[in-house]
Structure 1
């Protein structure tokens, strides 16, 4: 009978293992699932060989239940009826010791109420637990201690007393004025009311704690003492909780440090929204892989470094608009649903537009060209979309496009305008937020004009002289497209911005003006910058209607949908040119980031369209 039961258990074990291979070791997973769904007495004997918990006739397995949906790290005890909220708290409950006969359960998927935590997730959370444990152990006795793994109320020791501690506003105190943190520098010794998120917590004793509060405008150290530390909310306070704090603004004593050199001595506070124990650390750690970080981008942006990036992006947008306003450009708002192409059909996102074929805009250039007879120099900052199946560190499927068109200029005038744009925008950013920019990118320096000019044919010679080859290790030849990596190596070697001009017509789109004296070439330009590569692409545009019609024909494009664009050459043509700048690429270069996704609020690229 025992042999028969053993054979059944092994068969079931193999089935479970094949179904969830890689989630858990087969013995561990089998022990947990059998314990949950199969009668204990039926499998007691065969389980002896696959679960250490049975060796001495002890209980089946140590089980702790966690649920992000229904659990609580404050009131839960880890049972199925009262689960904890986080895996981190479950590990803390076990003092970091996860034996083979221990099973941590999490919310199930599909029709399952519970599932065992995946092996990879458990490994990450154990690692995080030990990281926090080491930080905790490093704090000397008697010194300031950092709150470690917020414990359930019963383990804090002070919760029974906290039930009787109630905070009320003292009506005898001066009325508190609601303020943003950025405005507190001039309010010494005044009573204020601030709202924000708990950024950090430092518990110094039972009746003394410091919290660093942030409200999006800055950071503020708040001093809590006596009864303010003894409420249930204070004892269980965790990072990312939202609070309302009343108190008096004080200049920090000599020898002490805090954000802004000030401190709020609190006299009352209220919990608005409590965050899970451990705050964001219960979801993300420095070891989290990039997909986990992107899945939780809404939490990542709360970090100090990323929030600085968001602020600088805002400053950069403001600087671009200020530049164009100062230079007399008019901002226009082109559509993003289109029925024409600019950069080729292979990179178009198509859609059904009320029964008609339409696309998401690749560029607003054609629409800007129609505006120059109406308003002269014009620009737009809007979204563009490219269906390029590329996962490089500089490509996005959706990005912000800074584009401009100017009438009555030549190629040299276009190059000067691109130089002026980049230098002036950088100068404006430095003047407004130079300290913040240098905090994020200490190596940044405003480029100096004029930029180095390099013709395409000379760039081919440079590449070969530097030993930079094509992918097949053969040298570059005239007429070859210069891919991203060699292009970046070239400009990195030069070490300064480069205006690369006069590309062969075969490498560029049909609407670019041919170079006078050499019809093989175009009056075109790419601005290359170190660390990123191509930042700006531009050209003079065809201004002759016959040349434009030939361009349609050579590309196999039906000119009918482009009637409105062709009319620009019919109703008073002129020499004109323009450019497009990838705003995210600009920010990647400005902020010294390695990857373009680091400067996007929610990046979109192949394989990523969430959250």
Structure 2
């Protein structure tokens, strides 16, 4: 309410007043309002908001003294600001007379990256990078230089004397690119423990200097998304992207160590896997085509010649969902294995998440714990195996409702939506392998259990704080049963001839799974929204930049 009132008061000011003050940049309109409002003395006919009575003469006198004091303070500040402005202008003019040149008597500088500084102490080096943080102190300028070679990848550089008083130094801003020459020293006070004392530097590319007014803690999400190209320069975001690279590499290492073959399936397709309502349709030289929902069907074709296979490819879902775990384009890690049983499939998924989380911990636990201090690798004994019917009963026993308003309980056969599913997962507090879903709520290609034809040999892996990150199943390998599945779901098998042919030429029991890399990252890095772990997230109404 106070913020609204201050803005209303500001908007009542005459236009010239507003124009005089709007050339100063502020992060939010409220900050501008609070810094721009004039203090106005009330009259004896006004109501005092503290007492809800007319202002007394003594109260007005005290207010007059306060206003006079504030105005004197403002005049002094304005005078100091004018004097500083003149001094800065003179200093800037004088700086144009300073010309920098490298001292030829010094030893040749060795090209250095921030990751190498520990091995180059007391050596003269040159380093290229961007001004991450800039601070002036008298005739010195402290630069935290970022070069992207490591995480956090920051080196403190000190400019002194003419180096700090030349024109380029006085007009230097954050994100400018520079090359700094000097001798490296150990300094525990500096961020990273090293300091470069410059003897020469060059400006490579200037920066406008307004990045802090665009990218800051007060910026709205749409603004941050519009300026994602600047956001990814920030320390936390760049760390997430660096860890994403390492974690993806750990997934590949896991698969190669287990003799899987990586393949690259197409992303332009003419078939559906997860339902036609979530397909992105496009015109493909006059024929209808879609962006792939999953590469599963193509992976199934590969197992006949390559054995165990996997891929890491983009998948697309045209879902009208703006939640913290949904994307329209995401990175899909998928695998298919021939000649396995349902129990084998569960073991494969268990081995995957346990081994990958351990690999990440072994390689970069120090970086992961910057974002998630409580992170620990998953152990096989941590996973809880639970049938879908048991999950329904758990929800009923623990007052997790299908509808919070009506307090309606789940019934056997119901699909458990995202909200209640996460409630259940968080309440249990352990990773859950949710098994044997009803056939009516699962896809046509999933095989049925031997014990009950109404249940599928399917599984979802649920993680606390995130929910489902893996979906998998045994595939229906009987031709007649597969064709019956097409018919039941109203899908024309014509475009799937290459898929149904697999059941005619050496069919066998097989299964696979798909894992959302972004959801896995959210869990491991303790991020509350999936868009934070994407380079350029694509979700409902967001396709730029």
TM-score tier by shorter-chain length is 0.7 to 0.9
Q: 1:452 aligns with which of 384, 395, 403?
A: 384
1:234 matches 2:166: no
Distance 1:52 1:543, change over 3 A: closer
Asked if the contact 1:488/1:533 (under 8 Å) is kept, the reply is: yes
Distance 2:131 2:204 in 1: 11
Distance 1:95 1:393, change over 3 A: closer
1:400 matches 2:331: yes
Asked if the contact 1:198/1:211 (under 8 Å) is kept, the reply is: yes
SS across alignment from 1:265: strand
Q: CA deviation at 1:174?
A: 0.7
1:479 matches 2:479: no
1:183 matches 2:116: yes
Q: Which residue of 2 aligns with 1:376?
A: 307
Q: CA deviation at 1:259?
A: 2.8
Q: 1:429 aligns with which of 360, 371, 378?
A: 360
Q: CA deviation at 1:284?
A: 2.5
Asked if the contact 1:441/1:591 (under 8 Å) is kept, the reply is: yes
Q: Which residue of 1 aligns with 2:250?
A: 319
Asked if the contact 1:156/1:235 (under 8 Å) is kept, the reply is: no
Distance 2:375 2:116 in 1: 29
Distance 1:369 1:94 in 2: 62
Distance 1:51 1:567, change over 3 A: closer
The runs of 5 or more residues in structure 2 that have no matched partner are 1-6, 40-80
Q: 2:289 aligns with which of 346, 355, 358?
A: 358
Distance 2:89 2:133 in 1: 19
Q: Which residue of 1 aligns with 2:213?
A: 282
SS across alignment from 1:518: coil
1:208 matches 2:140: yes
Q: Which residue of 2 aligns with 1:97?
A: 36
Q: 1:243 aligns with which of 178, 184, 188?
A: 178
Asked if the contact 2:21/2:36 (under 8 Å) is kept, the reply is: no
Q: Which residue of 2 aligns with 1:42?
A: none
1:468 matches 2:433: no
Which structure is richer in relative contact order (CA contacts within 8 A, separation 6 or more)? 2
Distance 1:154 1:93 in 2: 26
Distance 2:89 2:500 in 1: 76
Q: CA deviation at 1:179?
A: 1.6
SS across alignment from 1:438: helix
Q: Which residue of 2 aligns with 1:164?
A: 97
Asked if the contact 1:527/1:534 (under 8 Å) is kept, the reply is: yes
Asked if the contact 2:358/2:378 (under 8 Å) is kept, the reply is: no
1:505 matches 2:439: yes
1:559 matches 2:493: yes
SS across alignment from 2:36: coil
Distance 1:307 1:51, change over 3 A: closer
The runs of 5 or more residues in structure 1 that have no matched partner are 1-23, 29-49, 54-59, 67-77, 79-83, 101-147
TM-score, structure 1 as length reference = 0.76
Q: CA deviation at 1:309?
A: 0.6
Post-superposition Cα deviations, 1:73-131, rounded to whole Å, max 9, x if no partner, equal: xxxxx7xxxxx9x678xx9999953679xxxxxxxxxxxxxxxxxxxxxxxxxxxxxxx
